Structure 1
Amino acid sequence: METLEGTELCFPQLLNTSCRKPMRPQFEAMLIYILLSSISLLTVTLNLLVIISISHFRQLQTPTNLLLLSLAVSDFFVGLLMFFQIMLIDGCWFLGDIMCVVYQCVSYIITSASVGTMVLISVDRYVAICDPLHYSTKVTDKKVVVCVCLCWICSGIFQSLVLKDTIKQPGRYNSCFGECNNFVTYIAGIADAIFSFIVPVTVIVVLYMRVFVVAVSQARAMRSHIAAVTLQFSVKVTAKKSEMKAAKTLGVVVLVFLICFCPYYCVTLTGQDNLLNASSAASVICLFYFNSCLNPVIYAFFYPWFRKSINFILTLKIFQPNSCEANML
């Protein structure tokens, strides 16, 4: 009987203080392992391709793409952090209290920076569509770099304040050896949900709706103006495609972000995280992290240059002399 209990413990040698492993069907455990591992590998691979593409090819180093680079960097590390989440599937943390705090802090900071970068991207698209004549003066490489740096710095400071109790005393809120818990007060949790979800979502939705309205109106105005002169049929088709592409892209951006983030922050806001069973918690976490896998698909795969740069990378043409000067557009 003692041997059986030992096999259910995270640290069998610590019979009285070790955490117990959660009882989970083998099929369910394997399914979660495969799902998280696949998402993690795909997230790391896709975002690494974006990072290499924008960093290597000079033609791609535009203000908008620098924002995509920041987003790809944050999402790349989210993919790496998912390996630690896979470790926690068995309910045991073997890396100690200090590493637990580091993992929690880095996870919060990177996720916050990712959301902040998405807001910056929405602002960039808003200026580009709604004020195109002044875009080149309002949005420059230097301004984008400063905004990205401020985004990461503010994310670090804010999340350090949210997790200050956990940082001060690592392992303080663990009830047994093998746990990796982070304590966030209710007020800090609400503040995190407001500034990391509610405010960004509001800004993104408002700006993208404005971008959508302006893009559609511009397409219709162009169609009406040129159709009165010549090429009526072709212009109508082009304008219609432009309207549909704007609607589809912006709808996917907002919808995917909300679908992936809403469950996690709804649980945080309502304080119902204790009511979730292991399967439900794993599903919420998978969906939350899956957004980082979809970001390069949404923001990069819509661009033809990304497909072209992937071809250069996979065929190892980037190692050729002056490959950084290649035409990607």
Structure 2
Amino acid sequence: MSSSPGIKPQEHVDMVYISIETAIALASVVGNVLVVLVVCVNRTLRNTTFSFIVSLAVADIAVGVLVIPLAIVISLGLNTKFYTCLFFSCLLLIITQSSILSLLAIAIDRYLRVKIPTRYSIIVTQGRIYVAICSCWILSFVTGLVPMFGWNTLDAHGNLSSSSEIVCKFTTVIRMDYMVYFNFFGWVVAPLTIMIALYGEIFRVIRQQLNRRAEATCDADKYYRKELKLAKSLALVVFLFAVCWLPIHIMNCITFFCSKCYIPEFATYVGIFMSHVNSALNPMVYAFRIKRFRVTLIQITRRCMLCKPSETTSCSISTPAIKDKVDVNL
């Protein structure tokens, strides 16, 4: 890679890294703000599943607003106090945990919806959904802040005191055994395995019901076909999460289990980019795969961003008007 005149190669790499991260952050924030706005505007989307989707969108907004800027700061290797750098690093972990726990909650919600459809509305109330969302975030903070309570590299630095300044790098303050055993195996692999099993069972139950109800009422058939389409969309979100996050975790495992193995800096950067770009992909999945979401998004874009009035209204969002035009089918 050639560098511009007067710019050192490392500075050039930093500029490219910051530019890409900034673009990812902007796409993540804009896309997920639209997700929240669509759910707020369209009353037909205000159900239990989309409550969890909003929680996931908030986590993805936090990636763009908080995580990526902190990742840029950490990548520059600024001099900070040990626990300041450690706290910044823990914030990155908290947002990751909130994303995967939100995905797990969505999978459990969809499983209950197809497994016990007649009792679903009785068991899964809006109040319990709010409790579940709060529990996901609390658990994310608890697990993400574990290094702050001692599982860090302070002892490995010998005589370094907590008030001394260090070059702030993620791997300088976070222990790799924490990242591999606790974070990856415990809070990434385990939830992903559970989600794969849940979605496998969801598809099995839906297809079984569709086969049984081939001669049943049209409404029942429509219900399960709608559930199948939504399950496919949400399973795609889980798949993209795994594809985007596994590379950086696999590199962590290689570093931990094979100290002599060399991982190119370029590969590390790609792994970081993939983990961050995941936050910008989810709104695209919703827009392309969920008709209710897509139609409402088009309405918002036409009536607000492009300022194209719909009939007699001008650049304003009217919930009833949008609701009337949105097809309730997926």
**TM class by shorter-chain length?**
0.7 to 0.9
Letter in 2 for 1:305: R
Deviations 1:230-276 (A, max 9, x none): 9xxxx9xx99x879957853663343222112112223334158833
1:196 aligns with 2:187: yes
Alignment of 1:272-283 (within 5 A): 275-283=262-270
1:323 aligns with 2:314: no
Deviations 1:103-161 (A, max 9, x none): 32221111101100000000011111222111111211111100010110111112111
Match of 1:83 among 69, 87, 110: 69
Question: Contact 1:54–1:61 (CA<8 Å) still a contact in 2?
Answer: yes
Query: SS of the residue aligned with 2:118?
Result: helix
1:120 corresponds to which residue? 105
> How far did 1:34 drift?
3.8
1:256 aligns with 2:240: yes
Query: SS of the residue aligned with 1:288?
Result: helix
The root-mean-square deviation of aligned C-alpha atoms, in Å, is 3.9
Q: 1:125 & 1:205 partners in 2: Cα distance?
A: 13
Letter in 1 for 2:198: L
Match of 2:210 among 209, 213, 219: 219
1:298 aligns with 2:282: no
Letter in 2 for 1:205: I
Question: Contact 2:81–2:164 (CA<8 Å) still a contact in 1?
Answer: no
Q: Unmatched 5+ residue regions in structure 1?
A: 1-6, 9-20
Question: Contact 1:129–1:215 (CA<8 Å) still a contact in 2?
Answer: yes
1:109 corresponds to which residue? 94
Letter in 1 for 2:52: L
Letter in 2 for 1:164: F
Alignment of 1:1-329 (within 5 A): 23-24=9-10, 26=12, 31-80=16-65, 81-89=67-75, 91-93=76-78, 100-165=85-150, 178-181=167-170, 183-189=173-179, 190-223=181-214, 225=215, 245=229, 249=233, 252-270=236-254, 271=256, 275-299=262-286, 301-314=288-301, 315-316=303-304, 320=316, 323=319, 326-327=322-323, 328=326, 329=328
Q: 1:160 & 1:299 partners in 2: Cα distance?
A: 31
Percent identity among equivalent residues? 24
> How far did 1:31 drift?
4.5
Query: SS of the residue aligned with 1:133?
Result: coil
Q: Unmatched 5+ residue regions in structure 2?
A: 1-5, 155-159, 305-312
Q: 2:236 & 2:51 partners in 1: Cα distance?
A: 21
What is the TM-score when the length of structure 2 is the normalising length?
A: 0.75
Aligned residues: 299
Q: 2:249 & 2:124 partners in 1: Cα distance?
A: 32
> How far did 1:178 drift?
4.4
Q: 1:269 & 1:150 partners in 2: Cα distance?
A: 29
Distance 1:174 1:301, change over 3 A: farther
What is the TM-score when the length of structure 1 is the normalising length?
A: 0.75
Letter in 2 for 1:93: L
2:3 corresponds to which residue? none
Distance 1:322 1:180, change over 3 A: same
Letter in 2 for 1:43: S
Distance 1:34 1:303, change over 3 A: same
